[in-house]
Each structure stands twice: as C-alpha cells, then as structure tokens.
Chain A
Amino acid sequence: MQSKIFLTLSFIFILGGFSLIRQSSGQKIEEKFVFCDIGQGDGFVYITSGGSQIVFDSGPGVKITNCLDRIMPFGDRKIEAMLLTHPQQDHMQGQINVFENFQVERVFYTGVMASSQVFNEWLRLANAEKAQIVNLKRGDEVTAGAATFEVLWPPEEDEKVWKEEPPDDLNESSYVVRLDEGKFCAYLTGDVPKEIMALLVTKPCQLLKVGHHGSKTATDSFVVGKVLPKIAVIQVGANNRFGHPNGEALTALSQVGAKILRNDINGDIEVLFNAENGEIRYKTQKN
C-alpha cells in the first residue's frame, strides 16, 4: 500500500509539474478564431489577446463543449460573452450545454423568440445563469481586447417587429457582425439571405465566415466579389441532408481566390491574424 501511495503521489507531482510547465510556457496568447467541428451547424470562438472568449452560436449537439475544453486552459471555466445569431437548433442547442458547463458572463441575442422547446430551454438557462442579457441591433459595437465587433444586422425597427411576430424565415433575423482591428477585418454571418448580405458589405475583408453553411441562399458571386476574402470558412457537417455547401457558392469563392476551409474536411479550423499588417494564416485539425 505504501508503494501505491508513493506511486500515486509521484504520478500526481510529475503530471502536475508538466502541466505547470505547459501553462507557464503558454507565453503570449494569440488572437484567433476557432471554428469548431460541431457537425451540421455553426459554432465558433474568438479568443482575445487577453485570453477572453466570445462564443458565436454553438451548433447542434454538445460538441462545442469538447471544443471549448480543448482550447481553454484548465481552471478557466468562464466565457466572457456568448452570441446567438438566431434561435434555430443548428445554432443554439450547444449553447445549452455551454450554460450547463461554463459560467457565461454576457449573452447577446436579437430578442427574437422561437416557438421551440430548445429555445425555451435556452431562454430558461440564460436567465438562470444570471448573465447580462443584451439585445444588440445594427450600429451597436462590442469591444473585445483590441478588436471591435460592429453589428451590421438586424436593424432596430425590424428587431422590434420580429420580437412581437417572428419572421416566417428566422434566418432573416440572423445577426451579421464585422470584426475590425487595425488592418484586419472579418465578416461573421449567421444564416442571413444573400439579398440582405449584399446590402451590408461595405468593404473587403480578409476573412469570411460563409453564411448558412455554404447554401446558395446566402452566398453568390456578387456578395463574394464585394468581400474578396483570403480565407472563407464553411461550417458544415459531413454528408448532410441539405447538400451543403452548394456548388455555385464554392465556385464563387474559388473565383476570387479564397482559400476554402470546411469543418467536414478540415475538422477544427484556427484562423490567426496580424492586425498590424493584415496578414492572415490558418491551422487545421486534419487535411
């Protein structure tokens, strides 16, 4: 038994030592996006240089939690902010699991209600979390480290109407956000249709989170021609029943020379940037 106790303690101290070395050698935290491989849905995280996390959507199922566990250091169980683009299961179910496993400080959503049990559960947990719940609208800005997120959609007047009577297509109410920092910018879309998206793009950006999982309803050559992304990330599940991503959307992205990264092919995708010169690079889990 003594040898067992000795072994256990040695085991703990050796591992403890390694993990401390690993933590302390973490040096400076790089700002980055991590697009999690969560199946057919959207779910990604923006990590600030200070190590804070902003979670955008969370996909179906509970895979977002595994992704957060992988990218967050041990002991950090706090999510500084979580944004829900629109209340559909493939964007919100994982957030229920995030509420259950992490402490969420701020919640951003449009205030548009959905008549689903998943949304009821999401709302119940968001309120139980005692997080600060904010309904953002067009023109609002959220600062995260050195970056600024500007809300491009939906406008206040539409949001007011949709809070009373949700639109027939909830995708229309989806947030579109642009991150700006130095010479770098990124368009972060939900499922908003391309007709709306075309009105919102005012300047080219290095990164495009492609709308609606690469559906042709959200992406066409006009939108892509205005964004001119260097990297286009498509959050899509393998062999999904919708046939996403659409061939026309892929062609449009290829034609502007965008590097297309897909969660179904590349697994988790990290996109890193240098705000000073606008350079952008990526790492993928596979392929």
Chain B
Amino acid sequence: MIRPVQFQKYGFLLFYLLLALAVVLRIYTFRPRTLPINTLLKFEATISSEVESRPMSQKIKVLNLRIYAPNYPKYKLGDRLIIEGKVDGEGNVFSPEITKIGERASIKANLNDFRDTILSRVSALLPSREAALVVGALIGVDRIPEDFKVQLIKTGTIHVVVVSGQNLMIVAGVFISLSKYLGRRLSLFFSCLAVLCYAFFTGFEPPVVRALIMVFTTTVALYLGRTSGALFSIFLSGSVILLIWPDALTTPSFLLTFAATLGIVTLGQMLSGFFSKVPVVGENAAVSLSAFIFTAPVILYFFGSISLLAPLVNILVLEAVFPIMLFGFLLFVTSVIFTPVAQIFAFLTYLPAHYFSAVVDFFSKFDVGYIKGFAGNLYLTIFLYVLVFGLMLIWRGERDVSRAK
C-alpha cells in the first residue's frame, strides 16, 4: 500500500508532477483507431462489446461507429460480420447490409452466453422491471424496459442497475461490513474477490475495469489508511486509467465513477459525522448525498437533466439493494440447478426489487426539483465544482475553528 507519508515532501510533489505530465502527454498524443465517416463503407468486424437491444433495433459498436440493425436476426458478442452501409457525419450506420460469416470463440463471448442464460432464467421467474433490477445490479446486464429506464434516470437511481463504481462499492461494502466476524484481512480479501467476480461476470468491459481499479484502490486505502491516503489512491488510479485509456476522459462512466468515489471519500467522510446521529439510514445518507453532489455537475453536462430528489430516493432505495443482491445471487445459482427452490428465492428477491421499483415509480411522477437543459455547458460544470470545493473548504475551516475552541 502506498502511503503519502512514505514520500519526502518534494519527492512526492515531483512524482505527481511527472505522473500528471505523463497523463497530459498521453492524452495529447492519443489517436484512437477510427473508421471513416460520411461515406459508403464495407468492412469486416468481430463484435467485441455487448450488443445493445433496443425496442426497434439493435445497436452494435465498432470502433467509432454505431451500427443500428433491425432486431432480427439477433447478433451477439463474438459474431464475425461483413457490414455494408452509409456512415453519416456522426458515425451512425442505419439499416446496413449485414452478413454473418462466423463466430469467434472467446472467454468474453462464453461469459456473454452464460449471462444470457441467467437472464432468461430470471426473466421466466420475475416480472420484467424486477428482473432488470436484479440482473443489472448483479451482472450488469442492461435489459431495462425503456419506460423504467426513463424513471431510473429521472430519479437518479440508474447507477444501481448499470455497471458503475457505486455498484462495485456496494459489493465491496457488503464484505467489508463483515470485518467484525471475519476479521479485517479476511473481509478485505472477500470484498476484493467479490468485486473481481463481479467484474468477471460483467465481461471485463473497459468501464468495469476502470471502475474496478478506482474502487479497489480506494476501498483498500480507506479501509487501511486515512482520507488523505484514499485521496492519493483516487488520483493515482485515475492517472493510471488515463494512461491506459486516454479516451476515458470523455466518457461519462469514468467521470461519474471518479466523481462519486472522490465525493464519498472527501465530502462523505465529512458528512458521516453529521449523519451518524440519524438512525438506520445515517451512513447511506452520507454516501448518497456526497456521491450525488459530486456527480451532479457531470450528469448535468452529459445528460442535461438532474433531479434534486435523487439523494432522497437513493436513501430510500439503498437498503433494498443489499437484499436484492443477496437473494438475487442465490436466485441465479438455484435457477441453474433446481427451479422449485429458485421460485422461493424469486419471491424473496421480488419483494425488495418491487419496493425499489415502486419507490422509483412514485418519485418519477414528481417534477419538483427537476432541473433540465444544461447539457454541454462546461463553464457551469467548472463553476459547480469550484462552488462545491469552496463550500467544503469553508465548512472544514469552521469545523477546525470550533474544535480548537
């Protein structure tokens, strides 16, 4: 474990300056592989990421292109295709000619098949909204019905059902909380193992691996060290991620994970003292509120809308995530082995999942505190972060003064 205290003051500064310089150079010199746009194109490709199933089409990503094919025949990860179509100015290819010429076997493709099997078993036992919650939270499969997705985005709870840093933190947190019974080392070991398993089942997609690095280093640092150690880990892992995937800087998934983790480690720690007096949901409140405040500017920038009710909805649903994940996992296992037992776990999973879904449904009807229309406003994003950090510094200063008194 790297601790800043191990560095001499200037050595540490020099190290971080060099790292920052390397990151800037990497981003500046990075040239992603792209296919030409605004042209007729015929090319051969293997699908290397999950095909997104939409109501009226399926979306396949190949480098910088987004290919929208009719719903049938279904394509899947590992399929080798010849694609011919017109690429528009934004890299979209609508209704191209597609010929499947084979399948490329890989661990990723096999994992995808396995996830599909689990999905079909769970879908046969649970209603679609609840099934989407369970498979989303546990193996990151995005099969969320369109209207439910809109509600989840509106209430700021989408992170529970798509692969995200917060989701990984929940998995890690469950095992960390067992430290009283298992001991620090063993609980940390299981928490890392669980997070690794989670990433494995989600197919080690780059956003998952990035979230994994962030959460892994921060959890370990936070558990073993102090806030400053965790802060250092966040920036170190962020830099490593950008050195490997410079294009992550423009992806919402990385920025949201980074912002949420930073928020939980900094503001979350400050708020936890304040919320510790609140029974039952005190810790959740600190985590939810800090993650919300830090991710809000990024969400506004990329999606152009945010609900001020989001922290409240998150606090209300967060207690349900633990039983959803626990019983959902048992449902997965039993659905493959013995269906009658799976039906019992389906019922146990359904209850918290239905509660989650009902809370989201209820709060999505309110337009109170729903802010819209700031997409792409970089100045506003910067201003909001300056404001947050400024307020945090003032609060910290006041707290130190009152402590000194």
**A interface residue numbers (CB < 8 A to B):** 1, 4, 7-8, 11-12, 15-16, 19, 60-63, 65-66, 69, 74-75, 77, 93, 100-103, 117-118, 120-121
A193 and B351 CA atoms in complex are apart in Å by: 47
**B147, A1: Cβ atoms closer than 8 Å:** no
**B177, A12: Cβ atoms closer than 8 Å:** no
Q: List 25 A-B contacts (CB under 8 A).
A: A1-B177, A8-B323, A11-B319, A11-B352, A15-B354, A16-B351, A19-B354, A60-B56, A61-B56, A63-B146, A66-B129, A66-B147, A69-B128, A74-B127, A77-B125, A93-B71, A100-B123, A101-B123, A101-B128, A102-B124, A103-B124, A117-B72, A120-B72, A120-B73, A121-B73
Q: Which B residue's beta carbon lies closest to that of A118? A: B72
Chain A contacts for B177, CB-based, 8 A: 1, 4
The 6 A-B pairs of least Cβ separation, nearest first, read: A61-B55, A69-B127, A117-B72, A15-B351, A121-B72, A101-B123
A1, A74, A118: the one contacting B71 at CB < 8 Å is A118
CB of B314, distance to nearest CB on chain A (Å): 17
A40 and B125 CA atoms in complex are apart in Å by: 28
A7, A60, A62, A77: the one contacting B145 at CB < 8 Å is A62
CB of B155, distance to nearest CB on chain A (Å): 18
Tell me whether chain A's interface is mostly helix, strand or loop, or mixed. Answer: helix
CB of B229, distance to nearest CB on chain A (Å): 25
**B129, A69: Cβ atoms closer than 8 Å:** yes
> Is there a chain A Cβ closer than 8 Å to B348's Cβ?
yes
For the A-B complex with A11-B323, A15-B352, A66-B128 known, give 19 more contacts whose Cβ atoms are closer than 8 Å: A1-B181, A4-B322, A8-B322, A8-B323, A8-B326, A11-B319, A11-B352, A15-B354, A16-B347, A19-B351, A61-B55, A62-B145, A63-B146, A69-B128, A74-B354, A100-B120, A100-B123, A101-B123, A101-B128
**B interface residue numbers (CB < 8 A to A):** 55-56, 70-74, 120, 123-125, 127-129, 145-148, 177-178, 180-181, 280, 319-320, 322-323, 326, 343, 347-348, 350-352, 354-355
**A101, B124: Cβ atoms closer than 8 Å:** yes
A69 and B132 CA atoms in complex are apart in Å by: 13
A8 and B319 CA atoms in complex are apart in Å by: 8
Instruction: Tell which of B319, B323, B352 has the most Cβ of chain A within 10 Å.
Output: B323
Instruction: Tell which of B128, B146, B323, B352 has the most Cβ of chain A within 10 Å.
Output: B128
CB of A257, distance to nearest CB on chain B (Å): 34
Chain A contacts for B120, CB-based, 8 A: 100
Q: Which B residue's beta carbon lies closest to that of A70? A: B127
CB of B239, distance to nearest CB on chain A (Å): 35
B55, B127, B355: the one contacting A62 at CB < 8 Å is B55
A7 and B347 CA atoms in complex are apart in Å by: 18
**A65, B128: Cβ atoms closer than 8 Å:** yes
Chain B contacts for A62, CB-based, 8 A: 55, 128, 145
CB of A204, distance to nearest CB on chain B (Å): 37
Chain A contacts for B70, CB-based, 8 A: 117-118
**A66, B125: Cβ atoms closer than 8 Å:** no
**B124, A12: Cβ atoms closer than 8 Å:** no
A101 and B124 CA atoms in complex are apart in Å by: 5
Instruction: Tell which of B56, B71, B181 has the most Cβ of chain A within 10 Å.
Output: B71
A1 and B175 CA atoms in complex are apart in Å by: 10
Q: Which B residue's beta carbon lies closest to that of A12? A: B351
Chain A contacts for B180, CB-based, 8 A: 1
Chain A contacts for B55, CB-based, 8 A: 60-63
Chain B contacts for A16, CB-based, 8 A: 347, 351
A7, A61, A63, A74: the one contacting B350 at CB < 8 Å is A74
Chain A contacts for B145, CB-based, 8 A: 62-63, 65-66
A16 and B352 CA atoms in complex are apart in Å by: 9
Q: Which A residue's beta carbon lies closest to that of B351? A: A15
A16 and B323 CA atoms in complex are apart in Å by: 13
**B72, A12: Cβ atoms closer than 8 Å:** no
Instruction: Tell whether A7 pairs with B147 under 8 Å between CB atoms, given A66-B128, A77-B124.
Output: no
CB of B121, distance to nearest CB on chain A (Å): 11
CB of A79, distance to nearest CB on chain B (Å): 12
B74, B123, B127, B352: the one contacting A12 at CB < 8 Å is B352
**B56, A75: Cβ atoms closer than 8 Å:** no
Q: Which B residue's beta carbon lies closest to that of A69? A: B127
Chain A contacts for B181, CB-based, 8 A: 1
A63 and B181 CA atoms in complex are apart in Å by: 46
Q: Which A residue's beta carbon lies closest to that of B279? A: A3
CB of B152, distance to nearest CB on chain A (Å): 14
CB of A135, distance to nearest CB on chain B (Å): 23
